[in-house]
Amino acid sequence: MATIDRGDPLFDGLTPGSADLLAALHRRLAAEAQSADLLDVAYRTLDTPVGTLLLAATPTGLVRVAYPNEDHDTVLATLAERVSPRVLVAPARLDAAAREIDEYFTGARTQFDLPLDLQLTGGFRRQVIEHLRDIGYGRRESYAAVAAAVGNPRAVRAVGSACAHNPLPVVIPCHRVVRSDGTIGQYVGGGAAKNTLLTLEAA
């Protein structure tokens, strides 16, 4: 995995011109890896009202969105292990995802139109994730309602686990799943992030 971070102590001894050169070389590396079909997982970060999100995509589509509390380095290591070790900072592949997420947070977008890669989820969790995509903007469903919708009414806890392991939070709206009593419940990005998303959609 390769990252260029000008705040890294590695660059302390470099002139601004040297840092710019390294950044340009990195962009060239990413572009050539892409053109040679060697870039299996591209990633970038995006500042949002719920913290800095890590966005990662394969050639198929967006494969991962991760909150800061998930530890981005750990997420990248998992992607290298489960998807491919050919992981590189390559923001261009994530331009559309970053734009749509920005639009969502400004209230200009209520539905994402991004190609998705759901290879990180399967089985019952995949069923839940697929159903979450049908919960419309501003709507909420209980964990029990989701369990019933996917054909297993008793699997309420399993639905909670599936939401907690959603590889694409925000884009696939697990934040719209709440407890039967109306309280918001747990969330991979933390309670404050979930409340922010629900408040945004209720406006």
- The CA distances from residue 54 to 44, 51, 151, 183, in Å, are 6, 10, 33, 28
Q: Please give the model's pTM, rounded to 2 decimal places.
A: 0.82
Task: Flag whether pLDDT at 168 surpasses 80.
Answer: yes
Which structure tokens are listed for 155? 């699997």
CA distance 180 to 202: 18
Task: Flag whether pLDDT at 145 surpasses 80.
Answer: yes
Angle between helices 156-164 and 123-132 (to 10 degrees): 80
Give the DSSP H or E segment for 31: helix 16-35
| Mean pLDDT, rounded, for 152-173 | 97
Is-contact 172 132, C-beta < 8 A?
A: yes
| Mean pLDDT, rounded, for 170-186 | 95
pLDDT at 2: 46
pLDDT confidence tier of residue 4, bands split at 50, 70 and 90: very low
79-100 residue pLDDT tens? 999 999 999 999 999 999 999 9
pLDDT at 34: 58
Task: Flag whether pLDDT at 170 surpasses 70.
Answer: yes
| Mean pLDDT, rounded, for 101-130 | 97
pLDDT at 28: 56
Residue 163 catalytic? no
| Mean pLDDT, rounded, for 17-45 | 65
Give me the catalytic one of 75, 97, 174, 177: 174
